Chains A and B, each alone.
Chain A
């Protein structure tokens, strides 16, 4: 997704001269063509993220559209008060872009992980959250962010995927990847491919599962979630995030307040723990924490049995 973002911000700046690419001292090599072609739109504000977000708010309130890019925990939790006040309270047109979200930096430990970013960003009024699951959605998210007036957080991982989602990207709309009958898997980001894999295996057992991709987590596609809850007996959410405050929490909140819900829900994610495993292969970490298609299949089967 890193290359996809670099391409997308290049195209966005070409489309709108007010777009700025601000970085916290990362990506200089990948962005070399951008820096050469748009030197006036590029700012490296160093390893000083709190200030970087405040500066971006000032730029946004002067008519610019700053995309502020650095490693996810540093743009989200480190700068959180600036995001709350300078960006969201002012409703300034700042786009925060976190790279290497979740446990993408699998060998680097918790300082570089972000398993709480969705939770804290969801809690802020005015904030819109995009969590692309492939390279095309990265570009769609960047252009949607550019056109949307107000704060946006784009959560990127390091996974490259050339899967082509069908249909138009629309803020607040989920994408139905696979239709199903009485069970649904709701996923976002890098767990979408795990969900699809699990659904294909379940099909062999004659269980037809919906697979839904949520490229927007806020606002979330409440209409589709409610519709699925009327039709399905089992809904499982799976996300590269804490089970506290992410996709699963958002879905649970809707279902718990919806009288027509008939689905049982299970939330899969990091179970309120720090990730203490190291691996350059994200799937190995996912396996350890129950984010595998195998565990997902078992979860669906258990829910349907009950």
Chain B
């Protein structure tokens, strides 16, 4: 049993590494940005879509579905590769990322992308919309849940704390917020620029269940998600993450928020990802 489970986590790790490679290629080809922000959440988004969300990619608007909101819309490359991998749209569309005529822009547009519940991009919007989804589910007596992923810098925006207060007041135990706590802002470390102090204590003071987890460890994610008791209050999972995770020279470096690798750096990054893919495939054999 344990080995089956370990195998599944290894498969997720392999998939996440392959998807990071795809994200890197997409963003570099498009001359886009936000590589590090996407790398930070690849594991979380993949884990949610493969292990948690009750969704049907063939019927993305089914009333019987969980909803996922990527509030930090700038990390959308991570969402797009996962949605394509799940079959929400053909994988070849990823090649059109941010090109004229594409449905896949630099921030997600719900009117055009199957599986995207609300358009995001400006920080501090998705959480409130997710609260609306959760209240509607309560009104409709739907058992389906709402998941929302926000960045730790995004929590600078005051609207999130309005949403947090309402969610607790309305006892939205069908709402799960995940914070991508990578501790890095555009200009540098959060503790130097605008310290978020203890998110756990803040959410507790707002009346939320809080759980802390390593946001890159599938085994721990699986364990912690099993422990969640969604009863009487909303839950926040504070995920300890690394901005730029997966390519050593990009990890925890503020520059990779917006900078693109040059040809040499790209080669090094792809090599590292491919070596890891090879290693993981070997372990799975």
Contact = CB atoms under 8 A, between A and B. Distances in A.
A127 to B, nearest CB: 15
Given A58-B129, A91-B111, A45 B166 contact: yes
A27 interface: no
Given A56-B132, A61-B118, A82 B125 contact: yes
B140 interface: yes
A28 interface: no
B139 interface: yes
Interface string A41-62: 0010110101111111111111
14 contacts: A50-B159, A54-B127, A54-B163, A56-B132, A57-B118, A58-B129, A62-B136, A62-B137, A81-B122, A85-B125, A89-B109, A90-B111, A90-B118, A90-B119
A175 interface: no
B122 A61 contact: no
A109 interface: no
Contacts of A50: 124, 128, 158-159, 162
A61 B132 contact: yes
B248 interface: no
Interface in B21-46: none
Q: Which 6 A-B pairs have the closest CB atoms?
A: A58-B132, A54-B128, A62-B136, A51-B162, A48-B162, A55-B132
Interface in B166-217: 166
Interface in A11-64: 40, 43, 45-46, 48, 50-64
Contacts of B121: 85
Given A46-B165, A61-B118, A90-B119, A51 B136 contact: no
A52 B120 CA distance: 17
Interface string B134-152: 1111011000000000000
B159 A51 contact: yes
A48 B161 CA distance: 10
Given A64-B136, A91-B111, A58 B128 contact: yes
Given A55-B132, A85-B125, 9 more contacts: A40-B139, A48-B162, A48-B165, A62-B132, A64-B139, A85-B119, A85-B120, A89-B109, A89-B119
B122 A58 contact: no
B166 A46 contact: yes
Contacts of A51: 128, 131, 159, 162-163, 166
A86 interface: yes
A58 B134 CA distance: 8
A196 B165 CA distance: 49
Contacts of B258: none
A55 B131 contact: yes
Nearest to A48: B162
A40 B136 CA distance: 11
A81 B120 CA distance: 11
B119 to A, nearest CB: 5
A218 B74 CA distance: 33
B140 A62 contact: yes
A212 to B, nearest CB: 35
Contact of A54 (B110, B131, B137): B131
A54 B68 CA distance: 15
Contacts of A81: 122, 125
A51 B135 CA distance: 13
Contacts of B122: 81, 85
A86 B136 contact: no
A59 B162 contact: no
Contacts of A48: 162, 165-166
Contacts of B127: 54
Contact of A43 (B125, B134, B135, B158): B135
A55 B69 CA distance: 13
B130 interface: yes
B133 interface: yes
Interface in A53-90: 53-64, 81-82, 85-86, 89-90
Contacts of B137: 62
Given A48-B166, A85-B125, A54 B159 contact: yes
